Amino acid sequence: MDTKVWEIYIDQLKDRDTREKLDEIRTAFTYGEVVGIPTETVYGLAGDARNSEAIHKIFSAKGRPGDNPLIVHIHSMEQLEDFTEPLDPKVQSLMNHFWPGPISFILPLKGSMLAGNTVAELDSVAVRMPSHPVGHAILEHVGFPLAAPSANLSGKPSPTDYRHVIDDLNRKVYGVVESDPATYGLESTVLDCTQYPYRVARPGSITKEALENVLKETVDRHVSDSEKPISPGMKYKHYAPRQPLAVIEGGLKNNTHIEADDDKKIGIIAPENCRGFIPEGSYFISLCSSDENYREAARNLYAALRRMDKSDVDLIYIHGFPKNDETEALMNRIYKAAGDEVIKDDHL
């Protein structure tokens, strides 16, 4: 049976029939089903975080490794009291500043309310409060915490539009909410608050510098991928199209190694203002208007990778952006998509 689709756009939240749809979605979660829901980062594949069978369905649908913990989504701070230890005042200040929004906090787990497979049997849990109006409304209407990794096949580019969810998971999950696409386009920043100083377990739209500006103290950079994962996105190859992908380190403008190949069709993902450096005959996807528009590039990255995945190209090159605080999350995802395959800048 095809995956059920509920249409709920932001401007429909007050419509009379939206309440009926929210009731249906809540009933699905209550019976242990999983549903693709919108957030401001990427689409999530959500299930009752307390129900081990629902969580098993998430892992099964995605083909996700069982030692990769899930992020629990809530709609209010009060919900934390049910499954986390009391908050450090510094964590509270960060939540007050950035929530709802694209950041998850790893906190000490309390009690046994959450299913063990939700947290991969760890003694900590990652929690976030989405700001997408429809995603937030679903969480509020449901009333209990939902575990939700990205709603894609494990290892593939994350979904930023409900159609991406259908492409990957039709007939594998009960339902998906058709809604406004993600505005950030990259998964949330994950901050590990179970140790001190706090450390970024996964970079995202909220940067290390932004966190330090609120805390007025240093935050450690993200941990090695070789460690036991305490957060999604730490250990396994992610976000990859089916074709080989390499990063043009330093950017397309500075590189002369990319040439047309009669035997292989080349795909290139780069900013629009790099179009003049594309070898003739290549398939080009514009990532953003200019190589300084990092936010636009982040928002469009996964959609571009998905388009390339569906194309007839044999190999893909992607523009590498300069490494700084603003591009850390973007380049983290690009390098993971490429499996760290890099073509060096001629000027290095």
The annotated binding site is made up of: 41, 64, 68, 73, 128, 148, 150, 158, 188, 202, 239
Tell me the three state secondary structure of residue 45. Answer: strand
- Reported for 31-36, long-range contacts at CB under 8 A and 24+ positions apart, including other chains, are 32/57, 33/57, 33/173, 33/174, 33/175, 34/58, 34/61, 34/173, 34/174, 35/173, 35/174, 35/175, 35/176, 35/177, 36/3, 36/151, 36/159, 36/162, 36/165, 36/169, 36/173, 36/175, 36/176, 36/177
What residues form the annotated binding site for ATP?
Answer: 64, 150, 158, 202, 239
Residue 71 has φ and ψ, to the nearest 5°, of -90, 130
Spatial distance between the Cα atoms of 324 and 247, rounded to a whole number of angstroms = 16
What residues form the annotated binding site for L-threonine?
Answer: 41, 68, 73, 128, 148, 188
Spatial distance between the Cα atoms of 145 and 159, rounded to a whole number of angstroms = 21
Tell me the three state secondary structure of residue 175. Answer: strand
Q: Are 2 and 175 in contact (CB under 8 A)?
A: no
